[in-house]
Amino acid sequence: MSQAPHLLIADVAQILLRANGAALCVRRKPDADLAPGQLTVVGGHLKTGEPLDHAARYEAKEEAGVHVSADQQEFGGLVHHHEPEGMDRITAVFVTQSWTGEPHNAEPDKHEGLFWVPMEKPPRDCHPYTVTIFHMLTHGPSYRALNWPTSGGAR
């Protein structure tokens, strides 16, 4: 019996970080397909042929209206979330403490607004994936594997 192919979604996250440890998040609209009404990091899906770092900078411009240059951006880590009955999701996380422009809700059709969220103690309405990214950045390690079987799950 053959298994159905397991699909992978590649995402990027661009963390805009203040010196006090607060990260910029967007609040998704209540009718959003993904994370309705929740706070999420700035980010999105990787397009075919697009470098990870470029995609993260693009998302900062698309969602928060700011420009992040390549020399302002640092790689923060990877999160790989396994869904046994669905799609795996791998997210490349980038961090910056400087950018050009004033953050604003550049996608009012998708988001209710922008909010500065403390990474050490995110509010309850942060999406669990966002909380995982924050924990990875504040406590390490720089790679997180979520929801993988603990025994016998090696491929």
Please state the domain extents for the chain: 8-146
What would the mean pLDDT of 97-115 be, rounded to a whole number? 97
Give the pair of three-digit tokens for residue 93.
């996380």
Q: How far apart are CA 62 and CA 43, in angstroms?
A: 9
pTM, whole model, 2 decimals? 0.89
List strand residue ranges (DSSP E) for the chain, in order: 8-16, 22-28, 39-41, 43-45, 74-81, 88-96, 111-118, 143-146
Residue 8 has pLDDT above 80, yes or no: no
Give the pair of three-digit tokens for residue 24.
């910029």
Q: What percent of the chain has pLDDT over 70?
A: 91
What would the mean pLDDT of 105-125 be, rounded to a whole number? 97
8-146: what fold? Answer: Nucleoside Triphosphate Pyrophosphohydrolase (3.90.79)
